[in-house]
Amino acid sequence: MAAKYSLQPNEVVFLKDESVMHGGFWSAYTDELMLTNLNLVLIKKGLFGNSKGITTFPVNQIKVYNQQAQAVIGKATNGSDLLEVYFLNGQEKFAFQSGGKKKLTEWIAKIHQAVTGEEAPAPQNTGRALPGAEMVAGVLKDTLDVFKSKLATKPATPMKVAGKCRGCGAPMAGVQGQTIICSYCDSAQQL
């Protein structure tokens, strides 16, 4: 006979997932996890779907710090992500077969809502990026800088010119476009 959790009259389901692992080294993704407004419910199942019992963890026993329910993403010994929930009398860990961090973040938000009655705050940037992203960004910046330097118009270097004064014919020299005064007849001219 399969174990079935019966909701209390004032209890509603927030979230439910199958293929959950809870326990030690020998456990498998056979359990079912359900979050209600009153309990975190673990339905233990065997490898062949046979029932092994139901464990309830009251949500009012989950620790709260700085108005945040203490449900976080943790790491298993094999490096995979898992859900860690801290209770007044201990800690429980749950791993999901699929969904990754997105699923864990959803569970954390719903646990926060069940415990505090408020929507979870938006997740903060952890500062983590894809491996190698910083290097790629640096290479792209360097490449764009090279293009920018090649496309930028350089100011024209001043061209030196020589000529004769229009007034007296005396030799004159200077920068093209510059206005100079003849040293013999004091007439102003643009080169």
State pLDDT tens for residues 135-162: 777 777 777 777 777 777 666 677 888 8
Q: pTM for this one?
A: 0.59
- Per residue in 109-122, pLDDT (tens digit) is 999 988 888 887 66
* Domains, the chain, ordered by start: 13-116 (2.30.29.30), 160-190 (no CATH)
Query: Do the beta carbons of residue 104 and residue 15 sit within 8 Å?
Result: no
Q: Cβ atoms within 10 A of the Cβ of 120, count?
A: 17
The secondary structure of 11-73 as a DSSP string is: --EEEEEEEEEESSTT--TTEEEEEESSEEEEEEE-TTS-EEEEEEEEGGGB-EETTEESEEE
Q: Which of 5-9, 56-60, 117-121, 163-167 has the highest average model confidence (pLDDT)?
A: 56-60
